């Protein structure tokens, strides 16, 4: 048996893995055309033809609507802004409760706080790492007004069940699809399954324009409110006319013309970029299925996966060594592998101390100990087990990854697993 690199043996891989690069001549030419036009942004924060932005912004929104089969697409300067605008458009306000995921980037969880609402953490499904519908039901109260669902790692959440819960209780569902553009659930794209969907164009996503986002909806009212919140709603509402003042405090969440031009070219590449990830992920999965104690990503029936990250589950009892030791050994073989993802969000100081606006407990109630909401360790046992014991992932599965690159990843994991399991025999 080969000696592990962590013990002084030869590593499986000597060279670094290729970086993910999607920018080409198409994006460069599109950006140059914007520069040549002299119009880098055409938004005005007043009720006028320019309120909805310039020609590149509007073209991107039109292309996005057509691609994803939605009625409205509203560009933003980031997915964080998109989530904040979506919660505002949904009418979230003081005292409301919003069910969120504990295992994701923090913006989807802390967004309700912007509107003095309370984030409530439900647990995740151990197979997809998305919100578990059963846990959502367990956390419903008369104060629940919305659910922020995250299609984490590239797999759509159980949206059919979640939308059924929402319909039953009159809730708005906001789908954070930052990590799953191009993934499907049935015959529909992830991100189009809730009332409002948020896509990211951040630099390390499937497609990107540096920073940016697109928010989608089939609801005319939500779309208009998203546009208002994006662009100084408090001024525009008076000029436009209207009496619904709920959350009409506007921001500057506007996208530039250069970003929109680049994003439009990236959108044309999305299908190919996702297909390439799927090919390489399927190749790795076929190799890892033979390794006891390492479970590759699950793709549920009628779904496809976009593989933002290739996430595995580790069983220390089967392998016979801690996850930390296993991951370090694989890394020494020259393969990028990371344990855990993000610490459960409710364990962050913001939620543990509950001090925010003006250093006060607002929006949390003074009688917090009497509240049905908890941020104690142990409230999401599946999330904590996944993060602290089982989840490990590689970010080396993407369009620039070759078949040989995947073989090296599989060989390193196989080599390390075989060594430790044989030690137990």
Do residues 18 and 39 share a domain? no
State the pLDDT at residue 424.
62
State the residue range of the domain holding 393.
5-22+269-342+383-424
CB proximity list for 207: less than 8 A, separation 6 or greater:
22, 181, 201, 263, 266, 267, 269, 270, 273
Render pLDDT for 277-311 as a digit per residue (tens, 0 to 9).
999 999 999 999 999 999 999 999 999 999 999 99
Residue 378 within any structural domain of the chain: no
| Phi and psi at residue 116, to the nearest 5° | 60, 30
CATH number at residue 137: 3.40.640.10
CB proximity list for 352: less than 8 A, separation 6 or greater:
346, 375
Q: What is the crossing angle of helices 55-68 and 257-267, to 10°?
A: 30
What are the tokens at 418?
A: 């075989």
DSSP β-ladder status, 188-189 and 184-185: antiparallel
Do residues 149 and 183 share a domain? yes
> Taking Cα atoms as reference points, which of 234, 238, 230 lies closest to residue 248?
234
| Phi and psi at residue 258, to the nearest 5° | -65, -45
Among 268, 300, 319, the domain-final residue is: 268
Among 210, 236, 268, the domain-final residue is: 268
Do residues 167 and 292 share a domain? no
Give the whole-angstrom CA distance, residue 410 versus residue 218: 43
Do residues 242 and 288 share a domain? no
Do residues 68 and 189 share a domain? yes
Give the whole-angstrom CA distance, residue 116 versus residue 364: 8
> Taking Cα atoms as reference points, which of 214, 219, 246, 250 lies closest to residue 46?
250
State the pLDDT at residue 425.
54
Residue 354 within any structural domain of the chain: no
Structurally, how many domains does the chain consist of? 2
Do residues 411 and 279 share a domain? yes
Do residues 297 and 232 share a domain? no
Do residues 12 and 53 share a domain? no
Please, are residues 98 and 148 in contact by the beta-carbon 8 Å criterion?
yes
Question: pLDDT below 70 — which residues of the chain?
Answer: 1, 423-425
Among 268, 289, 313, the domain-final residue is: 268
> Taking Cα atoms as reference points, which of 112, 110, 172, 169 lies closest to residue 142?
169
Give the whole-angstrom CA distance, residue 382 versus residue 84: 27
Residue 363 within any structural domain of the chain: no
CATH number at residue 279: 3.90.1150.10
State the pLDDT at residue 55.
97
Do residues 234 and 132 share a domain? yes
State the pLDDT at residue 52.
96
Do residues 151 and 202 share a domain? yes
Rounded to 5°, the CA angle 88-90-91 comes to: 70
Residue 225 within any structural domain of the chain: yes
Do residues 150 and 273 share a domain? no
State the pLDDT at residue 110.
95
Task: Tell me the Ramachandran region of residue 373: left when phi exceeds 0, alpha when psi lies from -120 to 50, beta otherwise.
Answer: beta
Residue 360 within any structural domain of the chain: no
Do residues 174 and 244 share a domain? yes
Give the whole-angstrom CA distance, residue 284 versus residue 410: 6
State the pLDDT at residue 245.
84
């Amino acid at each position: 048996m080969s000696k592990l690199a962590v013990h002084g043996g030869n590593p499986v891989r000597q060279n670094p893995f290729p970086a993910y690069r999607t920018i080409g001549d198409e994006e460069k030419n599109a950006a140059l055309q914007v520069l040549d036009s002299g119009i880098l942004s055409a938004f005005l924060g007043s009720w006028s033809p320019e309120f909805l932005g310039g020609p590149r912004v509007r073209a991107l929104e039109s292309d996005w609507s057509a691609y994803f089969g939605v009625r409205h697409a509203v560009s933003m300067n980031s997915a964080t802004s998109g989530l904040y605008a979506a919660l505002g458009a949904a009418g979230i306000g003081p005292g409301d409760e919003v069910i969120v995921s504990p295992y994701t980037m923090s913006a989807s969880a802390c967004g309700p706080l912007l509107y003095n609402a309370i984030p409530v953490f439900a647990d995740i499904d151990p197979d997809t790492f998305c919100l578990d519908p059963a846990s959502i039901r367990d956390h419903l109260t008369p104060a629940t007004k919305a659910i922020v669902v995250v299609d984490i790692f590239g797999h759509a959440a159980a949206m059919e069940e979640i939308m059924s819960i929402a319909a039953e209780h009159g809730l708005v569902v906001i789908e954070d699809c930052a990590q799953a553009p191009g993934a499907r659930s049935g015959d529909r794209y992830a991100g189009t399954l809730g009332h409002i969907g948020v896509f990211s164009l951040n630099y390390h996503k499937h497609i990107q324009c540096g920073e940016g986002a697109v928010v989608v909806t089939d609801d005319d009212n939500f779309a208009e409110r998203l546009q208002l919140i994006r662009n100084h709603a408090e001024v525009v509402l008076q000029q436009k006319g209207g009496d619904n003042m709920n959350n009409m405090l506007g921001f500057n969440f506007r996208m530039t013309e250069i970003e929109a031009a680049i994003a439009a070219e990236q959108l044309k590449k999305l299908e190919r970029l996702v297909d390439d990830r799927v090919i390489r992920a399927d190749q790795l999965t076929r190799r890892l299925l033979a390794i006891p104690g390492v479970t590759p990503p699950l793709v549920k029936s009628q779904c496809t996966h976009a593989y933002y990250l290739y996430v595995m589950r580790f069983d220390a009892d089967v392998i016979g060594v801690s996850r930390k030791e296993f991951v370090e050994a694989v890394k020494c073989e020259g393969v990028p592998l990371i344990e855990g993802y993000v610490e459960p969000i409710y364990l962050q100081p913001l939620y543990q101390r509950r001090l925010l606006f003006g250093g006060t407990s607002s929006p949390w109630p003074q009688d917090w100990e009497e509240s049905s909401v908890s941020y104690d360790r142990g409230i999401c046992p599946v999330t904590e087990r996944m993060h602290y014991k089982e989840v490990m992932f590689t970010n080396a599965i993407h369009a620039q990854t070759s078949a040989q690159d995947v073989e090296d990843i599989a060989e390193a994991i196989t080599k390390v697993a075989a060594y430790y399991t044989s030690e137990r025999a």
